[in-house]
Structure 1
Amino acid sequence: MSRVHGTKDFWIGALRAEGPAFAAAVAEAPPETPVLSCPGWTITDLTEHLGEVYRRVQIYVTANSTARPEGVEAGGRPPELTPLQFFQQGYDRLMATFDGLDPEAPAWNWAPQPKKAGFWPRRVAHETSVHRWDAQLAIAAGEPIEAKLAADGVSEILDTWLPAGKRKATGQWHGVVHLAAPDAGQDWYLRLRGEGVALLDTATILDHDDHHARVEVSGTASDLLLALMGRVSFDTLGVRGDRALLDGLRTG
């Protein structure tokens, strides 16, 4: 199994493209435009959400502590700012912070990863790219997520979201899943055991019984990521085998 190993510069570079693209899309849409990929949300809700993510991450990476900062829930959009201004203010501040960020500095996160600041540029890059896609879809202009970034987003779901228990559904799943993104030259094998999940190397799979994948999914890295995040159906990809296992991979 090969996975993209991003760097701070890679994720900041992605944010330099995805942030302005998000802003352009929401500026084009009337505030109450429904966001079809986020049922119940409007463009205003989506914009405020991403601005709030930036505000909180700014606190996490500047607190110089592995403990979750107190009072982080308090905040939200100040009344003197429009939703887009709130987004832009948060984006600009966070990008300036990320530029000088030491990835090894202590910083809280919710995942089973080391509590280091380097967690957050990756997380924010993927949060922004998927919500950029949401915003563009709302104005019928959705562009795929760039292949290398999307492949790293798939890896993030498998190595971060699922081990943290962030699934859409509850249940027990058992078997090996093979995901393939030929456009990014990436394959992922993972073993589901009840509520647990383990990423596997090909050599590791061959050391176990029942090593054959019970389901295989192939598509572009962007479509794989969007399917795992619940934005598109797995039916839009090539699926062979036990589709029920895919319910154990959805997050978002």
Structure 2
Amino acid sequence: MNRLNATKDFWLAALRADGPALQDAVAETGPDAAVPACPDWTVADLTEHLTSVLRWVRELAPRGVLDRPAARTVPDPRPAWPEALDQLRREMTGAIETLDALDPDLPSWTWPAQAKKAGFWQRRIAHEVSVHRWDAEQAAGRATPIETKLAADGVNEVLDTWLPAGYRKGPTDLHGVVHLTATDASYEWFVRLRGAGIALLDTGTILDTDDHHPRAEASGTASDLLLTLMGRLETDKLTVVGDPRLISALRAG
């Protein structure tokens, strides 16, 4: 596995790029357009979701405590579309300013079993916005890839955070080893599936002739790998050798 030395500045730079692009896409598309990557969602649903997530994180991340925050809420009734767009703009700006002001080591409640620090939210919101930016642009008919290094860190996040925390959408009864390769960057990952369990391996030495578990290898751009793991693309966007079900078992959500 390659460890990307991502930092607060890296994630905030991504947010500052993807945030305006997302807002442009939802404003262009309008509230009633379908979001193909999110079945049963309209652009209005996507906008409401993001606005509530950004508001929730903006309020919880600076608290400096580890107790669980109040549940995220959405307005009822939903505001008119011009107001919804303005709320998204305000919450995006506020979230970026809040996360930028935080020390990544500040104590913070987080949902996975990792270090409980504000840096988690700087990373999480960068990826939340980048993937939903892609969703919004797909709804507008002009989706562009996620930036390579950000996408590679997004693959890391799926494998080191989402899946170990139990957020798996793929099958949980498979055993085997998966090798993922980002063709546009020097990043690769080795993952062992043990049914409901998962282990992210530091090297590929497990892929030797003495290991008889099923194997699969998948290669593609870092963006396509991330979007596949996040359920936005099918595995046929990747070059797959071996059992494709093992790739599907890495889907998060």
Alignment of 1:135-154 (within 5 A): 135-154=136-155
Q: Give aligned pairs, total.
A: 251
- Spell out, residue by residue over 1:33-77, the C-alpha distance to the aligned partner (whole angstroms, 9 max, x if none): 0001111111111011111110111122122111111x3334547
2:38 corresponding residue in structure 1:
38
Report how far residue 3 of structure 1 moved.
Answer: 2.6
Alignment of 1:204-219 (within 5 A): 205=206, 209-210=210-211, 214-219=215-220
8 Å CA contact retained: 2:175, 2:213: no
Report how far residue 112 of structure 1 moved.
Answer: 1.5
SS of 1:217's partner is: strand
Report how far residue 135 of structure 1 moved.
Answer: 0.4
1:72 corresponding residue in structure 2:
71
User: Given the two structures, how large is their TM-score scaled by the length of structure 1?
Assistant: 0.93
SS of 2:116's partner is: coil
**Inter-partner Cα distance in structure 1 for 2:212 and 2:67:** 40
**Structure 2: 5+ residue stretches without partners:** none
**Inter-partner Cα distance in structure 2 for 1:208 and 1:191:** 16
**Inter-partner Cα distance in structure 2 for 1:214 and 1:206:** 8
2:223 corresponding residue in structure 1:
222
Greater CA drift, 55-64 or 198-207: 198-207
2:179 corresponding residue in structure 1:
178
1:63 corresponding residue in structure 2:
63
CA 1:206–1:7: 2 relative to 1, 3 Å? same
SS of 2:184's partner is: helix
**Inter-partner Cα distance in structure 2 for 1:119 and 1:169:** 24
**Inter-partner Cα distance in structure 2 for 1:238 and 1:206:** 18
**Inter-partner Cα distance in structure 1 for 2:212 and 2:120:** 32
1:3 corresponding residue in structure 2:
3
User: Given the two structures, how large is their TM-score scaled by the length of structure 2?
Assistant: 0.93
Compute the RMSD of aligned alpha carbons.
2.0
Greater CA drift, 225-234 or 2-11: 2-11
- AA aligned to 1:225 is L
- Spell out, residue by residue over 1:7-27, the C-alpha distance to the aligned partner (whole angstroms, 9 max, x if none): 000000000000000001111
Report how far residue 84 of structure 1 moved.
Answer: 1.3
**Structure 1: 5+ residue stretches without partners:** none
- AA aligned to 1:183 is D
Report how far residue 201 of structure 1 moved.
Answer: 1.4
**Identical counterparts, % of pairs:** 55
Report how far residue 5 of structure 1 moved.
Answer: 2.3
Report how far residue 213 of structure 1 moved.
Answer: 6.9
SS of 1:184's partner is: coil
1:13 corresponding residue in structure 2:
13
- AA aligned to 2:104 is P
8 Å CA contact retained: 1:18, 1:132: yes
8 Å CA contact retained: 2:190, 2:204: no
8 Å CA contact retained: 1:178, 1:213: no
Greater CA drift, 242-251 or 120-129: 242-251
